[in-house]
Structures are given as structure tokens and as C-alpha cells.
Chains A and B, each alone.
Chain A
Amino acid sequence: MRAKQILLLTALVLLPVLVSGQQLPKRHVKKANAQTAAWRYEVEPTDIATQGSVTVKVYSFSKKPQVAQEQARKNAVHGVIFKGVPAHGRVPGKKALVTDPTVHEVFFDTFFADGGDYGRFVTLTNSGAIAAGDVMRTSNKEYKVGVSATVAYDQLRSYLESHGVVRKLGAGF
């Protein structure tokens, strides 16, 4: 009886660890990646300017809210690079770092691959905790999930400059 209780207790302790460590469904991740490539996400600035970084709220779409939450990191960096950040109230926006995604396609395929370098430049606020009202069911089969993320803008630009994707200010002089 005592052994059974110990086993049950162990199972209860390990369950959340196993669940959280479980990989997200591959087909949903693949679909989320396709949506990122198709610009299907929304980015809006949420904070006043801070030196070297930009804080945004990213809305991603997926059948699984967890997938959308995870995809927010990728979408935040993708948005800052290719879409720019729109102005918010009296806070001016930022222009896209790269205007044509096809020019350095090979570089960005690697950069945005799962586990790619993009992850070095983004941090989810409150470990990606979703605020009340930031999960919306847009249809029977899809959720829109908003997550706050901080993108290390200056570091990202320097990284892209060092890889020849973005030109340095005054390059050529």
C-alpha cells in the first residue's frame, strides 16, 4: 500500500515536468512557421523607448495556444527585421531593418530555423505569461495569442551588419 502511494506521488510530481517537456505537435509548428513566413502575425510597440531594445506585443495565430505562444519569439524578431515597428501614440516607430526578405534567403532560412540564432535576440516578458484577454478564439479552429516580447534591437542590427545583411552606417567611407 505504502509503495503504491509513493509511486502515485512520484507520478504526480513528474507529470507536469513531462508535460512541459513534451514537444509541441510538429504539424502545428510547421504551420506556425509557414504563417510567420506569410507575415501572418501582428506587432505593436507597448513601451516607451529604451536604449538598445524594443518591447512589442506580438499576436500569433495557431490551433494550439501553446504553439502560438512559442511562435511569438520568432514573430517578434521577424517583425522587427522585415516589418518594422509602427508608431504608438507619441512614441515613434522603427523602420524595417531589411526590406527584401528574398535577397538573403539562405541566411534567414538558417537564422529562423527552429532553435536558430533569432532566439539570442528576444526575451519573452514574464517568461511568456499571457495576460487576461490576450487569448482570443478567432474561429472554431484557431486562437490568436498575444505575448509581450523584448527584442535586443541594437544587438540584432550589429549581428546582421556583421553577416553583411544590413549595411553599416557610412559603409564605404
Chain B
Amino acid sequence: MKKILLTLALAVLASTAFGQAKKPIIMIVPSDNFCFQHGYMNEFDNMGTTERIPDYDRALLEDSNLNLAIIKLGEMMTERGFPLKDLAASLRTLKTQSAQDAVRTSEDGYALAESPLDKLKKTANADIWMQLGYTINKTGPKQSLTFTLQGLDAYTNKQIAAASGTGPQTFTVEVPVLLEEAVISYIDGFNNQLQMHFDDLFTNGREVAMELRAWDNGEVNFFDEYNGEELGFLIEYWMDDNTVNGRYSTVASERNYIIFEQVRIPLENERGTPIDLRRWANNLRTYLNREYGISARLETIGLGKVIIIVGGK
């Protein structure tokens, strides 16, 4: 009897622990336009070209109104049962981590291995970015506030939700109050669109992109035949079986590369465990190795793109 109860309890626990897809991480950042307008940009020389990237750290330190808007948005999202990842805390963690990595050595005096690519990838990450911006408009003694909030899917860079508008003109109301009113006014509309995006994820899967390339060693290309079928077509058959409702577009299929876009991958595997793009694409890599003895390397680019290079690691 005890054993049955224990088994039942474990089954319930497993279903609640694994029966849900990974909850997307959402983070609010000031929009690029806002950072540029207020001078919160870092400049660096990229092989002769001056590039600008937003300096979130400085924007958060120096702009009290921005902080207020981010905190208000965070508060309202938490009320809706969807707490956000805090940008300031994430930036602090990254700094602490870098400082610790810099002084960490092994007993033999070796430092941590880190390639330039590793450094580049260690940035604040989120599944959905909420880009916030506002402008104060002045007409004589009157002022109003224009507010923009844009939700971007980090996998596809597509806009999945947005809210924008200009509030009423006023003589007396302070900017923080105008900002608070704007957040309160627009957040419900924004969340409705966000919910529609989540519904689409559950119905049609997560949208990603995948590229297959061949090393320049001549070992494997996508026109090679296995049991009378070209490798490129065999990969497409695998895609048919492993995408949600077979939804993907083959943008290009050549001797040395295949490009898939608008690939809809399931949010969880057949065991009900949440999966991400890397784990999903790894199934193709192991399939190629198991069925056709093709060795391949898997590389991820951001959250939404993966490259599989066949013909070696």
C-alpha cells in the first residue's frame, strides 16, 4: 500500500515538474533610441567604423525616471503573475562574475579558459526583451509624454507586442506622474498581445532558424546519397517528423549548405521535459551520427539560431 502511494506521489510530482514548458525570461531595457537621445551610449572602433552600443548601466544609474518606469512595469507584471528578470541585478551579477573569473586560478596557476566568443556570449540574456522609451513634449507651458513599449522575441527579433501613445497635455503634472500614468494605461493592452504570442507558442511551437553547413574537407556534402536518397532530403524528412505540424521553410538547399527558416519546434520533448533549440538540434546531430555515421558540430547563435556543421567536429 505504501509503495502504491509513493508511486502515485512520484507520478504526480513528475507530471507537475515536467508537464510545463520553460517559462520565458522577460527583461525590460531602455530602447536604443532612448539611450541615444539621452547620451547613454558607448562608442568603440570596429575596424575603422565607429559603432555605438547602449550603456544600460549608466542609464539606470543616472536616470531616475527611467528607473521608476522600469520598477512600475515590473510591479505590474508581477501582479499579473509574471515576474521579470531585473536588468540592474543582471548587470551586477555579470560584473561580479567577471571579477571573480579574473582572479580565479587552478592549483597549478592556470587561469580559466575563455575564448573571445565566450566573452561575447556572456551578456544579459532574456527570451523576450521589453524595450521602453519615452519623450517629453513641450508646447509653451504645457507638456505631455509620449510613451513606447516594444516586446521583441529574442529568438526571431520579431515584434510580438507593442504599446505606444501620447498622454494628455498638462500644465502642472510632474514627469514621474505622467510616466506612471502611461505605464498603467498601456500595460494591459501590451499584456493582451503578449498572451496572444504565448497562445501561438503553445499551438504552433517556438519559431527558430537552423543552418547546416559542410566543412571544407570534402568528407560530406548534402548531395551525397545514402540508401538512394540525398542527405539534404533525408534531413528534410527528419524535419517533417520533428517540427510542430511539419512547419518550416527551406530557404536554400545546396551542395555545401541548407538554410531553414520559420522552423517551429515543440516546447517540450516526448517525455514532457521542456527543451530549447540547442537540445532540439542536438537530436538531429545524434541522428546523423547514429543513422549515417556523419560526425557534426553544433553551434548556437543567440537563442534563436543554430548551425550544424557536418563532416567533423
Contact = CB atoms under 8 A, between A and B. Distances in A.
Contacts, number: 60
A49 B185 contact: yes
Given A92-B185, A169-B80, A169-B198, 18 more contacts: A48-B168, A48-B181, A48-B185, A49-B184, A90-B166, A90-B168, A92-B165, A95-B189, A95-B192, A154-B79, A169-B81, A169-B191, A169-B195, A172-B20, A172-B202, A173-B21, A173-B23, A173-B198
Contacts of A173: 20-24, 198
Which of A89, A90, A95, A170 is the most central at the interface, judged by chain B CB atoms within 10 Å of its CB? A170
B184 A51 contact: yes
Interface in B1-35: 20-24
Nearest to A50: B184
Query: For chain A, what secondary structure do more than half of its interface residues adopt (helix, strand, loop), or is it mixed?
Result: loop
Interface in A116-170: 153-154, 167-170
A113 interface: no
Given A169-B81, A170-B23, A172-B20, A89 B188 contact: no
Contacts of A171: 198
Contacts of A92: 163, 165, 185-186, 189
Contacts of A83: none
Interface of B: 20-24, 76-77, 79-82, 144, 163, 165-168, 180-181, 184-186, 188-189, 191-192, 194-195, 198, 202
Nearest to B163: A92
B49 to A, nearest CB: 40
Given A95-B192, A168-B81, A90 B165 contact: yes
Given A91-B185, A172-B21, A173-B23, A167 B195 contact: yes
B214 to A, nearest CB: 38
A54 to B, nearest CB: 9
Nearest to B79: A154
Contacts of A154: 79
Interface of A: 48-51, 89-92, 94-95, 153-154, 167-173
A120 to B, nearest CB: 18
Contacts of A48: 167-168, 181, 185
Nearest to B72: A51
B151 to A, nearest CB: 12
Top 5 A-B pairs, shortest CB-CB distance: A173-B23, A49-B185, A49-B184, A169-B80, A90-B168
Contacts of B194: 169
A127 B311 CA distance: 78
Nearest to B167: A90
Which of A89, A95, A154, A169 is the most central at the interface, judged by chain B CB atoms within 10 Å of its CB? A169
Contacts of B144: 90
22 contacts: A48-B181, A48-B185, A49-B185, A90-B165, A91-B167, A95-B188, A95-B189, A167-B195, A168-B80, A168-B81, A169-B80, A169-B81, A169-B82, A170-B81, A170-B82, A170-B195, A170-B198, A171-B198, A172-B20, A172-B21, A173-B20, A173-B24
Which of B188, B192, B195, B202 is the most central at the interface, judged by chain A CB atoms within 10 Å of its CB? B188
Which of A51, A89, A154 is the most central at the interface, judged by chain B CB atoms within 10 Å of its CB? A51
Contacts of B167: 48, 90-91
Contacts of B76: 51
Contacts of B80: 168-169
Contacts of B168: 48, 89-91
Nearest to A172: B202
A56 to B, nearest CB: 15
A49 B23 CA distance: 30
A91 B178 CA distance: 12
Nearest to B166: A90
B265 to A, nearest CB: 16
A91 B202 CA distance: 32
Contacts of A90: 144, 165-168
Contacts of B20: 172-173
A170 B83 CA distance: 11
A52 to B, nearest CB: 8
Contacts of A153: 188
A112 to B, nearest CB: 23
B139 to A, nearest CB: 14
Nearest to A89: B168
B168 to A, nearest CB: 5
Contacts of B22: 173
A29 B189 CA distance: 35
